[in-house]
């Protein structure tokens, strides 16, 4: 979070406009004006990260912002709000409101709010965009769901690829919009690779329910009972037709836990293969050719992220460019940083967060024409 604020603090006096000489008899000046009052509605799975993504570029370009954290994880945002007030921000520059869906709707439809940035599900994103359109046509940035693919070629570094493919679906217990939830492995290495992946998943499952204050505990629970039940329903429905290669277990005790789970070669129309689960559930399919892998990878309504694993640089660049996703990792899972944009194609969103690109969403360009004959 701090790195994002530092990055955009550096932009505050550097986001410049343009000037064009009077070759047609007019000097032309382009300025970027603050858009006004903005709203940032954040998801529960990385609330402080999303707070920074939305408020830092808004503030750097001279706007004010109202932040609404998810009702499932509001405390961190409230603490940051307290720190902002202690830091000496003028009253009203950053405001925080708490509440559920109705509060988000009020922000999205308010006539005095000029911009809303939302991170969350595609279903809710549609509602945000609808409310924004029906009110004052406010600007909208949506960072939504995903069903991100990973492609593992036969020349991939086995150990490094196993690390990233494991992290890509078990990090934050799979509760990440860019999680690598679909994996396509070359048929010549599939048996060995899946076997090694199962070993890693079993080791992670063995630590479920550990003390969260213990440094050895690396795998946490699902956020709450509602999400736990949703993930379990996905798994149980899939188990009616497929036996999981590993995992498929769950228990609610000291928290709501779901073991990392792999389904091998599910049908193309399987719900668990098509829809975002938002849990530690991985679908693995095999492929023969690069073209087949890309067809499988892009056969989704989402386009948030993707990854490709190979030691062939030309192939890596070729495949990464062909994957229809906003962020593609080469020999790594999807990663983020303040310098580059984050966002999705297709149902994964509208607009971009972070990088210089985010600044464009918080300003209005104005063209000023000055007669050279004046």
Computed over its alpha carbons, how large is the radius of gyration of the chain?
23
Strand 180-186 relative to strand 250-252, pairing: unpaired
Chain centroid to Cα 117, Å, comes to 13
Query: Is residue 71 among the annotated active site residues?
Result: no
The C-alpha atoms of residue 304 and residue 150 are separated, in whole angstroms, by 12
* Cβ neighbours for 275, distance < 8 A, ≥ 6 positions apart: 147, 234
Closest CA to 177 of 44, 39, 316, 296: 44
Q: How far apart are the C-alpha atoms of 53 and 137, rounded to whole Å?
A: 22
**Cα–Cα distance, 205 to 313 (Å, whole number):** 35
CA dist 206 and 235 (Å) reads 19
Q: Which of 45, 255, 252 is nearest to 146 (CA)?
A: 45
Q: In the chain, which ranges are continuous DSSP H helix?
A: 2-9, 47-60, 75-86, 101-109, 122-134, 158-170, 190-205, 225-239, 271-274, 290-298, 313-322, 355-360
Identified catalytic residue from 143, 245, 276, 353: 143
In 3-state terms, what secondary structure has residue 10? coil
Number of H helices, E strands in the chain: 12, 19
Angle between helices 122-134 and 101-109 (to 10 degrees): 40
Q: Which residue has the tokens 């609610």?
A: 252
Answer for the pair 304, 148: CB distance below 8 angstroms, yes or no.
Answer: yes
3-state secondary structure of 22: coil
Give catalytic residue positions: 143
């Amino acid at each position: 979070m701090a790195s994002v604020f530092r990055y955009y603090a550096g932009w505050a006096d550097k986001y410049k406009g343009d000037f064009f000489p009077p070759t047609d008899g007019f000097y032309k000046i382009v300025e970027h004006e603050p858009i006004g009052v903005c709203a940032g509605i954040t998801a529960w799975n990385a609330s402080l990260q999303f707070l920074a993504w939305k408020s830092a570029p808004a503030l750097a370009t001279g706007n004010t912002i109202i932040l609404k954290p998810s009702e499932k994880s509001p405390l961190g945002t409230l603490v940051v709000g307290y720190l902002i007030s202690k830091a000496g921000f003028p009253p009203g520059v950053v405001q925080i409101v708490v509440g559920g869906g109705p509060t988000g709707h009020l922000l999205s439809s308010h006539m005095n709010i000029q911009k809303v940035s939302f991170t969350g599900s595609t279903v809710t994103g549609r509602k945000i965009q609808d409310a924004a359109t029906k009110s004052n046509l406010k600007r909208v940035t949506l960072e939504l769901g995903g069903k991100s693919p990973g492609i593992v070629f036969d020349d991939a570094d086995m150990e490094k690829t196993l690390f990233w493919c494991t992290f890509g679906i078990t990090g934050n217990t799979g509760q990440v919009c860019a999680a690598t939830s679909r994996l396509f492995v070359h048929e010549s290495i599939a048996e060995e690779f899946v076997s090694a992946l199962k070993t890693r998943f079993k080791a992670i499952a063995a630590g479920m329910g550990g003390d969260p204050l213990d440094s050895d505990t690396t795998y946490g629970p699902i956020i709450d009972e509602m999400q736990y039940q949703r993930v379990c329903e996905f798994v149980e429905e899939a188990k009616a037709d497929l036996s999981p290669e590993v995992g498929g277990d769950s228990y609610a005790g000291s928290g709501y836990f779901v073991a990392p789970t792999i389904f091998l070669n599910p049908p193309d129309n399987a719900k668990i293969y098509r829809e975002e689960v938002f849990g530690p559930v991985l679908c693995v399919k095999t492929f023969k050719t690069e073209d087949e892998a890309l067809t499988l990878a892009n056969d989704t309504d989402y386009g948030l992220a993707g990854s490709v694993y190979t030691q062939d640089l030309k192939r890596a660049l070729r495949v990464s460019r062909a994957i229809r996703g906003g962020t593609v990792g080469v020999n790594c899972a999807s990663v983020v940083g303040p310098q580059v944009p984050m966002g999705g194609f297709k149902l994964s969103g509208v607009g971009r967060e972070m990088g210089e690109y985010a600044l464009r969403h918080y300003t209005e360009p104005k063209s000023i024409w000055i007669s050279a004959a004046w």
